[in-house]
Amino acid sequence: MIRLDGVDYCTPTEAPEQLGGDVTPDMVRRWIYRKLVVGYRVGRETYCKLDDLTEVEYETRISRQGRPRGYALSGSDLLIS
């Protein structure tokens, strides 16, 4: 994970450590592919803003579409401020 101008960026591989739950690197790559989050290429790595990933994770988790997610949300699970 890197920080530029006070903004945290992470790779799809690092994202599960930050977001927890049942987020996988492949899930993050699909979000980038579907343009739900912007991916920034730096060399061979793709970085995403952690705030954007957190927002997409929240929206995905509360959505009634797709497969059911692993656990129910509580107030302490949310990182959005």
- From residue 8, how far is each of 1, 11, 48, 65 by CA, in Å? 7, 11, 8, 29
Gap between the Cα atoms of 73 and 61, Å rounded: 8
Give yes or no for residue 80 having a pLDDT over 80: no
Amino acid at 32: I
Residues written for the chain: 81
- How do residues 40-76 score in pLDDT, each as one tens digit? 999 999 999 999 999 999 888 888 776 666 555 555 5
Give yes or no for residue 81 having a pLDDT over 50: no
Nearest one of 54, 13, 14, 18 to 36, comparing CA atoms: 54
- Domains belonging to the chain, first-starting first, are 2-65 (1.10.1660)
